[in-house]
Amino acid sequence: MVINKLNNTIGSLFYNILLFIAFNILLTSDSLFVDGKKLTDLLWDPQNEIFNNNNNIKPVIQAHIMDRIKINCPKARENDRKYKYSKLYIVSKEGYEKCSLINSKIIGTCKNPNLTSSINIVFREVSPLVGAFVFKPGEDYYLISTSTGTLDGIDNTEGGLCLTDNMKIKFEIQEKDQKLSNENSQTNIENKYIEKDESNSMTAGLLQSFNDDTAIVYKIHNADVEYNDDELYGYINSTKNISLNYNIFMIYLFFFIISYIFFLI
């Protein structure tokens, strides 16, 4: 009787430990889930052709879950007064149409003309970061900047660059079964931009996506700090190493506990 009870306890403990390790491996390993693509970088600058309202084409970027995009802040020019200071927000459809911070969530800041900086977004349905913005297939999301372009007007909440320079983007998150059907439509939209300005690499390939080995970059929720690529990728790589070491430790712990239990028997 006692032996049977002990065996049941060991079996239950074995199952729970194994389940716990499997859960942690799945939770901390991006490589098991990643099949997204890196979309062409978006230059967040009024001089970018895609913000030209005369085109009568509203900027739209189609993406799938786990795709990612890097939004590059404007580069410094000889006259820093031309630099467009801005904060970028995800807003509701109403906020997008009215250029207002309605139901807004800040995702990044461009405020250092002397630093090459960017804001990285991964279109995640589930995020490992607490409080991170997540995206759902079949839904649309809207990115705008209501800053005036000056440092003093960076916290402006109405109008701003969204109104004066049409600086707003619509993200269409595609359903999973739309992945193949939209390839042709994306190519057609891309060609419209190529005809406009073949020399503009951003507009020529706005909706083009491609596979590469670039590490997935988590969105940094900090409105006042800008990160360069080396800092971001260094942070992510170190985080992945910590996750890997943690999983190895858990596996060693699992075998140690099992060995100890059988030793007691």
Q: Which alpha helices (H) appear in 153-228, and where do they start and end?
A: 160-164, 183-196, 201-204
Asked if 71 and 169 sit in the same domain, the reply is: yes
Asked if 9 and 106 sit in the same domain, the reply is: no
The most distant pair of C-alpha atoms in the chain lies apart, rounded to whole Å, by: 85
Q: Which alpha helices (H) appear in 29-169, and where do they start and end?
A: 93-98, 160-164
CB-based contacts of 125, cutoff 8 Å, min separation 6 = 65, 134, 135, 136, 137
Asked if 158 and 182 sit in the same domain, the reply is: yes
Asked if 105 and 202 sit in the same domain, the reply is: yes
Asked if 112 and 159 sit in the same domain, the reply is: yes
Q: Enter the pTM of the model.
A: 0.59
Residue range(s) defining the domain that contains residue 3: 1-32+227-250+259-265
Confidence at residue 215, expressed as pLDDT on a 0 to 100 scale:
31
Confidence at residue 7, expressed as pLDDT on a 0 to 100 scale:
58
Asked if 176 and 45 sit in the same domain, the reply is: yes
Asked if 18 and 65 sit in the same domain, the reply is: no
Confidence at residue 42, expressed as pLDDT on a 0 to 100 scale:
95
Confidence at residue 116, expressed as pLDDT on a 0 to 100 scale:
85
Backbone φ, ψ for residue 227 (5° rounding): -120, 140
Confidence at residue 221, expressed as pLDDT on a 0 to 100 scale:
34
Asked if 124 and 234 sit in the same domain, the reply is: no
Asked if 175 and 109 sit in the same domain, the reply is: yes
Q: Give me 121's structure tokens.
A: 């977004």
Residue 39: Cβ within 10 Å count? 23
Asked if 69 and 79 sit in the same domain, the reply is: yes
Asked if 44 and 18 sit in the same domain, the reply is: no
Backbone φ, ψ for residue 259 (5° rounding): -65, -40
- The number of distinct structural domains making up the chain is 2
Give the CATH number for residue 169. 2.60.40.420
Confidence at residue 213, expressed as pLDDT on a 0 to 100 scale:
32
Consecutive sets of 10 residues in the chain, 265 residues long: mean pLDDT of each? 56 60 52 69 92 81 94 76 89 96 94 89 85 89 96 95 95 77 43 38 32 32 40 48 64 73 65
Confidence at residue 164, expressed as pLDDT on a 0 to 100 scale:
93
Asked if 128 and 231 sit in the same domain, the reply is: no
